[in-house]
Amino acid sequence: MIDINKKVLTSRYDYDLDKNIIAKYPMDSRDNSKLLYVDRSNGKLVDYIFSDIVDLLDSSYMVVVNNSKVMKSRVPARRLTGGKTEIFITDIINDNEAYVLLKGKFKIGDKVQISASALQSGDLLSDDFAVVKSSLGEGRHQLKFSKEVSSIMESYGKMPLPPYIDRDVDISDDNRYQTVYSKRLGSSAAPTAGLHFTTSLIDLLKDKGVVIEEITLNVGLGTFRDIKTEYIDDHVIHTESYSISSECAERVNAHRKAGGKILAVGTTVVRTLESSCNINGELVAGDKDSDIFIKEGYRFKIVDAMITNFHLPKSTLLSLVSAFGGYDNIMNAYKYAMNNGYRFFSYGDAMLIYSSDL
């Protein structure tokens, strides 16, 4: 147990990562991934397959998922001088405008031509283009596109696989880097804990009386940003927008009032629920931004259990999971996983963290 009154070194959340355990491709079947059960009350570890989740949960659980849909945000482009670049769409402002990351130096009024194919020499250019409307620093710009942003992404965009996957985007990623329940376009990365669910698995859970509830949090690029400060408390965490409907909030609150338990699918759901929970432990509906930084010592107000993948060293996500599952339990689980063939990160295996005391 750490002393929450003292500054905590970021190195506490570091571990030796063997790059060979990073999953570069998903399993053939989503629910055939491994699932490591971690008992947060005593540290017990048990190996399962993800499809076993049907046997591990009962009708006392409400499973909350993030229905945000990943944008095909990597759009190949060229300068008018012919030099290739890439537009990375991070936030859609309105039908024709978006905030983007743009490789290279650009000024207001510059025109960027959309490329019709991958960035190879001799590419044909499409009739579509974007104009720099404002520059926000650090490669971030506001662009106005010649047609709807969603149409540009659908016609030319590629899925934004995280850099540690280290391969070209495959056509199969269009499907596999989305959850089966994704609906609301807006994320720059997948809420990866949900990638293990299939529609048939969800139907089996519902048949058992497990309630599935949806919220939306648009995952930003900050989710991949490691903590570079010496002390974790000095890190400024990223902000992400979320949405909870009044109907969802009412059902969650009623479920908890009746003695039910809340299982959050992924750190994005944990972040959303804990951000929107009032001092009475009630979920509050609304469209807001979350900048919550969950660290050891945090007292969880609404989440009883969580499903999560294995996370990067020195990341805010590992900090969150350690706060929920207990630092020693989680670090022991990571060691166990690395020694027992578990696959890490976005396309990797999962953990189910809950307490046998529940």
E strands, the chain, in order = 34-39, 45-49, 61-66, 68-70, 74-79, 84-92, 97-102, 111-115, 125-137, 140-145, 184-187, 211-217, 240-244, 261-265, 286-290, 305-309, 350-354
Predicted pLDDT at 2 = 67
> How many CB atoms neighbour CB 201 within 10 A?
17
Residue 358's pLDDT band (cuts 50, 70, 90): low
Q: Is 192 exposed, middle or buried (0-12, 13-18, 19+ CB in 10 A)?
A: buried
pLDDT tens per residue, range 52-81: 999 999 999 999 999 999 999 999 998 888
Beta bridge partners of 38: 45, 353
Q: Which of 332, 45, 50, 20 minimizes the C-alpha distance to 193?
A: 50
On average, the pLDDT of the chain sits at 93
Domain 74-158, second-level architecture: Beta Barrel (2.40)
Predicted pLDDT at 288 = 96
Residue reference for tokens 């951000």: 275
At the fourth CATH level, which superfamily is domain 10-70+174-354?
A: QueA-like (3.40.1780.10)
pLDDT > 60? residue 119: no
In the chain, which residues fall in CATH 2.40.10.240?
74-158
The CA distance from 190 to 355, in Å, is 27
The CA distance from 18 to 343, in Å, is 11
In the chain, which residues fall in CATH 3.40.1780.10?
10-70+174-354
State CA 271 to chain mean position distance.
Answer: 10
Strands 286-290 and 240-244, bridge-based pairing:
antiparallel
117 vs 322, higher pLDDT: 322
Buried b / exposed e across 232-268, counting CB within 10 Å, b at 16+? beebebbebbbbbeeebbebbbebbeeeebbbbbbbb
Quote the tokens at residue 259. Answer: 């003695």
pLDDT tens per residue, range 107-117: 999 999 998 76
pTM of this prediction?
A: 0.93
